[in-house]
Structure 1
Amino acid sequence: MNAAAPDEPIYFYSKTMPFWGLSNFSPLEIEVEGEFWPTVEHFFQAQKFNDREVRERIRRAPTPKEARAPGQSRSFAIRSDWDTVREDVMLKALRLKFLVPKARDMLFSTGTRTLIESSPFDYFWACGQDGTGQNRLGQLLMPVRKELAA
């Protein structure tokens, strides 16, 4: 997929990048407790809310971008413990996503390279425009890769 040196980081974010499949927007359905979610983004955004109607609206959103909108708008009350549980929610979704053989194979193809979500807009889940972001998505993907390889 990527001919870069084995110690160079892998950046992912948009459809035009070789490892776009690592993105939460990539079209890979996950099943969580009997419910199917079109993408990790759909599932993750819905978990911000206790309101079942809001969660269902997000689950049925036609695109990941539309699923993200309610979670970013603050039009609905976000659960009070969200900052505490959001990484656990993401980790759960990633573990489920990468159980799918096609996704797991792509994740394994990254070897032991550092994974960096390169969204210029996100300084928590990604590296942000200037590279100073926390890259929490990449930081969670690497142990998932290790777990699945074990």
Structure 2
Amino acid sequence: MKEIRFYRASEKPYGVFSNLYRRAITFEGRIFPTSEHAYQAGKARKEEVREWLMAAPSPALLAMAAHGLYQWDIVPDWSKVKFDRMRGVLMAKFTQHADLAAILLETKDAMLIETATVDNAVNRLWGEVPGKGGKNMLGIMLMEVRQHLTQKSSTKRRRKVAMQAAE
């Protein structure tokens, strides 16, 4: 199976898979500058902490600040809801931007792997670290979104063929 490894938002063409890639999305009725913003907005227990995070000058600084929150500043069930939140954020990102969806769909059935350069627990959860492994949850979720988009696209094609046949 072909592997596609990605990490930095600036890498062409697969940097779009990074949550730090600068493309606004609408999620839960709010416009966020990146998918990282939309994801991390769900982490803060208090509104003032959430807004402080959202004011970070870059998505990378937002991620660093959010990873450094004290436990009492994090919603109590974060460890249970974070994966569903990320799935929702990714679905929003790739259904709201046809150009990004096209890049994801062009990967066909390749294994998508976020390959981090720094070894820490966050990078081993969302991606892999060479020589250390990891769960690659971001890559897995991107493949789930890709499967959803593929099924949606094939349903549209079947409908269009059926409509043309009926004419």
TM-score, structure 2 normalization: 0.80
Match for residue 156 of structure 2?
Answer: none
Match for residue 52 of structure 1?
Answer: 47
Match for residue 141 of structure 2?
Answer: 140
Larger mean CA deviation between 38-47 and 138-147 belongs to 38-47
Is residue 27 of structure 1 aligned with residue 28 of structure 2? no
What SS does structure 2 have at the residue aligned with 1:68?
helix
Distance 1:147 1:59, change over 3 A: same
TM-score, structure 1 normalization: 0.89
The 5 Å alignment of 1:60-71 reads 60-71=55-66
Between the aligned residues of both structures, percent identity stands at 33
Count of equivalent residues: 144
Deviations 1:75-109 (A, max 9, x none): 46111111111100100000000011011011111
Structure 1 letter corresponding to 2:94: F
1:49 CA displacement: 1.0
Q: What RMSD, in angstroms, separates the aligned Cα atoms of the two structures?
A: 1.5
Is residue 112 of structure 1 aligned with residue 109 of structure 2? yes
**Distance in 1, Cα, partners of 2:127 & 2:52:** 26
Structure with a larger share of its residues in helix: 2
**Distance in 2, Cα, partners of 1:135 & 1:95:** 17
**Distance in 2, Cα, partners of 1:46 & 1:129:** 29
Structure 2 letter corresponding to 1:102: D
**Distance in 2, Cα, partners of 1:94 & 1:148:** 12
Write out the 4+ residue segments of structure 1 that deviate beyond 6 Å after TM superposition. none
| Unmatched runs of 5 consecutive residues or more in structure 2 | 152-167
Match for residue 78 of structure 1?
Answer: 74
1:45 CA displacement: 1.5
